[in-house]
Each structure stands twice: as structure tokens, then as C-alpha cells.
Amino acid sequence: MSDRMDRIVSLCKRKGFVFQSSEIYGGAASVWDYGPLGVELRRNVADAWWSAMVHARDDVEGMDAGILMHPRVWEASGHVGGFADPLVECKTCKRRWRADHLDDSACPRKPSLTPGAHKECEIGEPRLFNLMFKTFMGPVEENAAVVYLRPETAQGSYVNFLNVQQTSRQRVPFGIAQLGKAFRNEITPGNFIFRTREFEQAEMQYFVEPGADDEWFEYWRDRRLAWHTEMGVRPEKLRLAEHGPDELAHYAKAALDIEYEFPFGWQELEGVHNRTDFDLSRHQEFSGKRLMYIDPGSSKRFVPYVVETAMGVGRAVLVLLVDAYREEEVAGENRVVLALHPRLAPVKAAVFPLVKKHGMPETAAKLHEALRRARIPSFYDQAGSIGRRYRRQDETGTPWCLTVDGQTSEDGCVTVRDRDTLAQERVGLDHVAAWIRERLE
């Protein structure tokens, strides 16, 4: 990782965004636990996505499918037979890598070399490695009881297509959105929370009439790119990367990635795919159940095409952390700041008494509780100098600091300091919650 990424990872551990899973036992490889601030940031990202995709639209419905599904689902989708990466193993080091990622990997014996380049190493022939986690349903571990942890949420939307369409009385075009955990036994996970074996997905499957799919593919491409900038990501750090004919998945007519320029290079943030009628047709074939849409106006019958948007919530969190991280000099001192969009910041306001006397702690504590009752996440801090308290909140991305000072008892106001501009203004104690809500909305 780059030096910048090292500093971001250190900040995440120090401030309670992300911890190594099972750290006291030496850690679980590429599994991460979200701490008090991290879980709030991740929840805010997921809520913002859900609000934009479901609550703000009449043509997208939400659902939550089970993680464990009938094993035939994964046969129909092609995951059992084709969801595999080419794997190679060094017979000397006993380490494994994806065969198509050797140029980006390092030899354990000599990190300056790629795997197999060391004279004492011997790389075996590539073999396919299925990425799905297997488990067993029921008390007996036998082949008939094999089930899989889902590698994506999408299939739950496909097998429930008619259930959702009929109960919600939707007409094509319409979408089904899901937020939920998925699992992939990645050979080479890494780059902090960028690629992990357990992750949360935000996926939407939009069902359209064949022939209208190209138009909707372009619509969702533009809409999803715009959403990331609305969340505060710098536009110059985003780009579209279309998949060439030799890169397309077996089910795709067209696909592109919305990429972000990480410290370790341009990488996928979100995918937009035209999956045609592959999934519904396969499930119709394997289940023997008709998954055809009948238009109530024209009685036209067809198996819909699907335009999919798919984003990893943890990956979006990493983009926000990287994009918001700043190191700058203020009044001759260095400060680290996370310039997160206020809607996404884990804590919206920090409340400080200027000193620990003259009734200031009591007034500050009452303001803190009032903000909590107003469902505005706030933090109370009376330890250290006011400058140190500001710096601590800058590091965690808190947009506003509220200071109760000697003038508060006279004018009933607090000093509000803005994280980004450092500007200060006086706001009445009774109006602070409304002042914050106005800016969040």
C-alpha cells in the first residue's frame, strides 16, 4: 500500500472506523470489523443509497432475500459451473495467487520479484477455483445437504421477480433493490477493505422490455455516476470504463465500471450491466415455473431484460474515506481532516464547554442531550484545549463544533465552527437543532 493508504488505515484504527477482525488472535485474513464511527458511516452510505434508489422513486421496490437459497438457484445462474478464478500455487512457498494477477503480486521470498521469478520457486499449472463458500443445511454433512453462502444478492431478486411485481402492482419497467451480505472466497483479497471475503452489497435489478434495454443502460450509467458526486466524491477522481467484447461476463450484452482513482490506481467502485434475459430465462428453465411478464394494457408477453447496478458498500466507504482525507496547515499547525459530506458524517456535531466552570459543562451537556433527542448524532467533549478538541473532531469528519462560552449565559447562543471553512457564527441554543437540520437537508 502507498504511504497515503497507510495513513488512512492508521486513522481508521486509531479513531474507531475499522478494526482487523479477531485481532487479539492474530486476525482473520481480509475480514474487517466496523467500529463505532465506521458502522455509522457505512449505515449512512447504505441509507443514502436506499433513499435514492427506493424512497425517492415510484418504480423501484425493496426486498431482502435469504442468504441461503436452494442450491439449484446457483446451478441456474452459472455460479456452480462457471464462477471460478484460475489459481496457481508455488510448490516451494505453498502460497496461492490468481493466475491472471501474477504481475501485480509479490514473491514472499523476495517482494521485489513477482511469484515464480525467484530461482528457487516453482509455479504449478493453473487450475480453476470456485469462489463460493460451501456449507451444509441440516444435521448431516452429505452432498445432498450442500448449500452455498450467496456470492451476490441479485439472484434473490430474479427468483422473486413475479412475487414483487404482482404484490406491488408494478408495471415494466421497474426495479428491485436489495442491501445485504454476500460472500466470495477470494484468492487474493487485499488493499484494506477494498476486496474482502465478506461484504455488503447494494444492488438494483431493473426489469425492462427487450428493445428498451440500451436506453435504460445509459440512464442508469448516468444516474449512478451522478449519485457518487452528490455524495461528495470529486468528479475528477471518477471515470467510466466500458468492458470490451473479451471482458464481458457470459450473461452480459454490455457492461461498464464506474472507477475511482485510489492511491493504488484506478479500480472499480460500481458496476452497471445489461444482463439481457439470461437470468430470468435460466431460472424459468431450471425451475419449470414461467417467469414471463404480461402487460395489463396490451396483453403483450415477454421475459424482461435486466439492467443491473451493483456496488459494494464497504468499497464505497473506502472511496469516501480516501477522497475526504486531507492534510493541511492551519495557523501554523498541521491538521488532518475528513471532509465527508455532512449527511454521511458519523457524528454531525460536537459540543464543547469552553472551560469546566461557570455552568458551561451543564449547559453544554443539556445541548448535547437535546441534539440526541432530536435524532442528531452528537458528541460531548470537555477534555483538553479547545484547539485539541477541534482537531480530534476534524479527524473524524464532524462538520460542526458547538462551543458554550462565557457569552452564552448572556445572549443564549453558542459559537458554531465549520469544519471545512473554519468560519464561526453565533446560533441560539434553542435553534441549534433546526440550524443543523436545515444544512443537512
Q: What is the pLDDT of residue 101?
A: 65
Of 1.20.910.10, 3.30.930.10, 3.40.50.920, 3.40.190.10, the CATH number of 3-74+137-321 is 3.30.930.10
- pLDDT by 10s per residue, the chain, length 441: 589 999 999 999 999 999 999 999 999 888 999 999 999 999 999 999 999 999 999 999 999 999 999 999 999 998 886 655 566 677 677 666 666 666 777 777 767 777 777 777 877 767 666 788 988 998 877 777 789 999 999 999 999 999 999 999 999 999 999 999 999 987 777 899 999 999 999 999 999 999 999 999 999 999 999 999 999 999 999 999 999 998 888 889 999 999 999 999 999 999 999 999 999 999 999 999 999 999 998 889 999 999 999 999 999 999 999 999 999 998 888 999 999 999 999 999 999 999 999 999 999 999 999 999 999 999 999 999 999 999 999 999 999 999 999 999 999 999 999 999 999 999 999 999 999 999 998
Closest CA to 284 of 304, 299, 298: 304
Kindly report the pTM of this predicted structure. 0.89
What single letter denotes the amino acid at residue 390?
Y
Question: For residue 109, which amino acid is it?
Answer: R
- The CATH H-level (homologous superfamily) assignment of domain 347-440 is Anticodon-binding domain (3.40.50.800)
d(CA 400, CA 300): 56
